[in-house]
Amino acid sequence: MRVMELAQFCASSRIVIVAGKGGVGKTTVVATLATMAARTGLSVLVVEVEGKSGLSAALGLPPLTYEEVEARPRLRVRALSADDALLEYLDQRGLHRISGRLVRSGTLDVVATAVPGMRDILLLGKVKQLEQAAAGPDLIVVDAPAAGHAITFLTSARGLQDAVRVGPVRHQADEVVALLADPARCQVLLVTLPEETPVNEVAETAFALEDRVGIALGPVVVNQCLPARWSGSPHAVADATRARCDLDADDAVALDRATAFVGARRAIQLEQIRRLATRLPLPQIHLPFLDEEIGPTGIDHLADAFAAQVATLRAP
Residue-wise pLDDT for 96-107, tens only, equals 554 444 444 444
Residue 114, domain member (yes or no)? yes
Residue 258, domain member (yes or no)? no
Residue 264, domain member (yes or no)? no
For 184, other C-beta atoms within 10 Å of its C-beta total 10
Residue 233, domain member (yes or no)? no
Cα(79)–Cα(108) distance, integer angstroms: 18
Q: How confident is the model at residue 78, as a pLDDT?
A: 95
Residue 15 structural domain: 6-227+282-310
Percentage with pLDDT > 70 across the chain: 74
Alpha helices in the chain (DSSP H): 6-10, 26-39, 55-58, 82-92, 96-105, 108-112, 118-132, 147-163, 168-181, 196-212, 236-242, 249-279, 296-310
Per-residue confidence at 160, pLDDT binned at 50, 70, 90? low
Q: How confident is the model at residue 102, as a pLDDT?
A: 43
Check pLDDT > 60 for residue 108.
no
In sequence order, the β-bridge partners of residue 146 are 20
Rounded mean pLDDT of 211-227? Answer: 92
Residue 104, domain member (yes or no)? yes
* CATH code of the domain containing 33: 3.40.50.300
Rounded mean pLDDT of 207-211? Answer: 89
Per-residue confidence at 256, pLDDT binned at 50, 70, 90? low
Per-residue confidence at 90, pLDDT binned at 50, 70, 90? low
Q: How confident is the model at residue 257, as a pLDDT?
A: 73
Contacts of 215 (CB under 8 A, 6+ apart): 17, 154, 180, 181, 186, 187, 188, 209
Q: Specify the number of domains making up the chain.
A: 1
* SS3 state of residue 72: strand
- Of 150 and 267, which is predicted with more confidence? 267
* SS3 state of residue 27: helix
CA 63 to chain centre: 18
Check pLDDT > 60 for residue 233.
no
Residue 82, domain member (yes or no)? yes
Average pLDDT in the chain:
82
Flag the least confident range among 27-31, 128-132, 242-246: 242-246
Residue 169, domain member (yes or no)? yes
Q: How confident is the model at residue 104, as a pLDDT?
A: 43
Residue 242, domain member (yes or no)? no
Kindly report the pTM of this predicted structure: 0.85
Question: Is there a contact between 15 and 9 (Cβ–Cβ < 8 Å)?
Answer: no
Rounded mean pLDDT of 204-218? Answer: 90
Q: How confident is the model at residue 218, as a pLDDT?
A: 95
